[in-house]
């Protein structure tokens, strides 16, 4: 792992630093690089604009650390409203949520109940619900939640991280569920015995996992989300999909708002199913630092945008 990435990931965990920078105007200007605003209304407006370029959306509210179950209930109710607004706006979209946002650290049972409530809303609206994967300490609990949800609800997806050494084995256990998987590289600081420290190994694992899922997707046994801004790798997997006979409807490509926008539009124009992940909310510091760590060159971009 590069020194720059390690520093940024460590900084993402600093509450002191978050308190220092989140209310400063220059930092908030920089954050607009990756998010259209802090309100759901801002995300919906950006989603409408993206629809003109045949881009769907994935909406997620930021915020991971809760201090009470009442907050978890508020998050649940907020996401219930997100489903309604996506449908009312006529958008092609998904909703994505972290288990810790729904109180996983406070009450696993309450978290599961909230997820089942959201899954029922997913069924009622026809809008996919994706369960995000957080750092390695949450993998087993998140997999258990996903298995319980997927056993009763169809439009439920899960994020898996190619950086984790355990992911190939986890994927093997999910095949019977005909899973919907958003494959990402991973954006958390992990020890070397748990995650590949070198980018080349993370990329190799991503290509292998993606190829394996596309082979299953062609048979209707899996739905793959290629969640990466690595355009050469995305193109490699698009070619693999063609080789395996997977149609453009049997996999998707997801990228973040504000990153590789030209590539997103180009892929959509070619007929690929492309969605832009839009994050919003006031608790953006940890998420923002992880975005910079994914590609430290983004720090230079942000510096130039502030000066410009």
pLDDT, tens digit (0-9, with 9 covering 90-100), for 146-160: 999 999 999 999 999
Tokens coding 188: 């958390």
Residue 132 annotated in active site: yes
Ranges of the chain with pLDDT below 50: 8, 11-12, 20, 301-308
What is the pLDDT at residue 294?
Answer: 62
90 CB burial (10 A radius; 0-12, 13-18, 19+): exposed
What is the pLDDT at residue 34?
Answer: 78
Domains of the chain: 1-35+284-303 (no CATH), 49-281 (3.20.20.220)
pTM of the model: 0.85
What is the pLDDT at residue 189?
Answer: 80
Structural contact between residues 101 and 63, judged by C-beta atoms closer than 8 angstroms: yes
What is the pLDDT at residue 305?
Answer: 45
Residues 6+ apart with CB under 8 A from 29: 305, 306
How many angstroms separate the CA atoms of 5 and 142, rounded? 25
Out of 5, 76, 182, 290, the active site residue is: 182
What is the pLDDT at residue 30?
Answer: 58
> From residue 185, how far is each of 12, 163, 219, 290 by CA, in Å?
18, 6, 25, 12
What is the pLDDT at residue 306?
Answer: 42
Report the sign of the C-alpha dihedral through residues 281, 99, 230, 9, in that order.
positive
Out of 5, 76, 128, 132, the active site residue is: 132
How many angstroms separate the CA atoms of 295 and 283, rounded? 21
């Amino acid at each position: 792992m590069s020194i720059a990435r390690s520093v940024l990931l460590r900084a993402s965990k600093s509450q002191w630093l978050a308190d220092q920078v989140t209310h400063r105007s220059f930092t908030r200007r920089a954050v607009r690089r990756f998010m259209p605003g802090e309100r759901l209304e801002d995300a919906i407006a950006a989603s409408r604009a993206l629809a003109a370029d045949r881009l769907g959306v994935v909406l997620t509210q930021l915020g991971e650390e809760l201090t009470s179950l009442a907050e978890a209930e508020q998050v649940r109710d907020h996401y219930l409203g997100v489903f309604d607004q996506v449908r009312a706006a006529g958008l092609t979209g998904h909703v994505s949520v972290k288990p810790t946002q729904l109180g996983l650290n406070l009450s696993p049972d309450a978290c599961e109940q909230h997820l089942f409530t959201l899954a029922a809303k997913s069924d009622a609206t026809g809008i996919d619900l994706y369960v995000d994967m957080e750092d390695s300490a949450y993998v087993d609990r998140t997999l258990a939640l996903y298995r319980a949800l997927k056993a009763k609800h169809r439009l439920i997806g899960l994020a898996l991280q190619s950086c984790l050494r355990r992911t190939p084995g986890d994927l093997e256990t999910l095949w019977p569920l005909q899973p919907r998987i958003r494959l990402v590289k991973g954006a958390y600081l992990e020890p070397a015995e748990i995650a590949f420290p070198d980018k080349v190994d993370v990329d190799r694992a991503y290509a292998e996992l993606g190829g394996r899922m596309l082979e299953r997707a062609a048979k209707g046994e899996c739905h793959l989300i290629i969640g990466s801004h690595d355009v050469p790798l995305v193109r490699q997997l698009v070619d693999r999909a063609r080789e395996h006979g997977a149609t453009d409807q049997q996999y998707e490509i997801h990228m973040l708002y504000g990153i590789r926008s030209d590539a997103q539009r180009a892929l959509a124009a070619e007929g690929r199913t492309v969605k832009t992940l839009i994050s919003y909310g006031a608790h953006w510091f940890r998420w923002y630092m992880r975005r910079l760590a994914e590609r430290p060159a983004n720090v230079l971009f942000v510096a130039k945008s502030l000066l410009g």
